[in-house]
Structure 1
Amino acid sequence: APHPGAARPRGAQVSAAPVLPRAAAMFAESALRRVFEVIDRRRPVAQLQPLLAPPLIDGVIALTRVAHPAAATLRRIRLRPVDSADVTGAEVFGVYSRGGRLRAVAARIELVDDRWRIVALQIG
């Protein structure tokens, strides 16, 4: 790859990778933390309504019925923009711990009515 300061040949096309707004990362982290708090019964399910697409809420409710040995703690997340010139969605990959074990979480967030929302969720 050429050095960032190197001159471009004339007529070369420059395509920048889409950049996610900081708000998307902040939303994803906050929303996933709330999802885990609901699963661990530290928050009411109603707090997820503005954050998750309605079909996902039933899945989270099902997870609250399972006994967990310890509370889940979100360790880190990474976001990757969905292929689009105007970034309106992202794939989210994360790691959380529960009872000394590391586990994975994945989600997709989309900008819906000018608000970020989780539209797909997989908790490992």
Structure 2
Amino acid sequence: MSASPIATARQSLTAPVIDYEPPPVGTTAPCPMPTSTAMHRRTPRPMTPATRPRREAPVPRAAAVFADAALRRVLEVVDRRRPVGQLRAMLRPNLVDAVSVLTRTPSPEGAAALKRVRLRAVSGCPGEPSAAEVFATYTRGKRVRAVAGRVEVVGGRWQVVALQIG
């Protein structure tokens, strides 16, 4: 009995691959191993003075205390533990409206807890800075979230002028 044409066609679908690498062109011998002195030789480098990082201006203590209190109140308003009216002296009017929108849908994950607040002075005029950037983290349930903003001296008092709640 002879093999069917279908069976022979299935057997010839693959062919072995030939391992082939062409000979090197233009070289007669392999590169020699470097000596131990060549491997441990110091390469002369030009001496350059070390650049010191620019030192940031210290943030006023009043700005840090205000930012911490303001962010705590904002999170309490978002959680409906405080009325929105208590933010009017601390935030710009457009930010009070934005925070009041966040209070419309309560979070099922529970209350927010402010964890870490950091400030960086915004360089401006010489002397004590009148503005600072605020970076903070807070937890809601098992998740860690972030808040960012800017505080400035407005009319002799600190006020939150920008706010992003994540």
- For Structure 1 versus Structure 2, the TM-score category normalised by the shorter chain is 0.7 to 0.9
Inter-partner Cα distance in structure 2 for 1:114 and 1:39? 27
Deviations, residues 76-96 of structure 1 (Å, cap 9, x unaligned): 010000112230100000100
Cα offset for 1:16? 6.0
Tell me whether 1:93 sits opposite 2:140 in the alignment.
Answer: no
Name which one, 1 or 2, has greater alpha-carbon Rg: 2
Q: Partner letter of residue 119 of structure 2? A: L
Higher strand share: 1
Aligned residues: 112
Q: Percent identity?
A: 56
CA drift of 1:17 comes to 3.4
Counterpart in the other structure of 1:17: 56
The runs of 5 or more residues in structure 1 that have no matched partner are: 3-14
Higher RCO (CA 8 Å, separation ≥ 6 residues)? 1
The residue number in structure 1 matching 2:122 is: 82
Instruction: Give the residue type in structure 2 aligned to 1:77.
Output: V
Partner SS for 1:68: coil
The runs of 5 or more residues in structure 2 that have no matched partner are: 1-49
Distance 1:17 1:93 in 2: 16
2:92 to 53, 77, 81: 53
Superposed CA offset, 1:73-120 (max 9, x none) = 000010000112230100000100001100010010001111100000
SS across alignment from 1:77:
strand
Q: Aligned residue for 2:157?
A: 115
Question: What is the TM-score of this pair, normalised by structure 1?
Answer: 0.85
Give the superposed CA RMSD. 1.6
TM-score for both structures, normalised by structure 2 = 0.64
Q: Deviations over 1:7-29 (max 9, x none)?
A: xxxxxxxx863221101000000
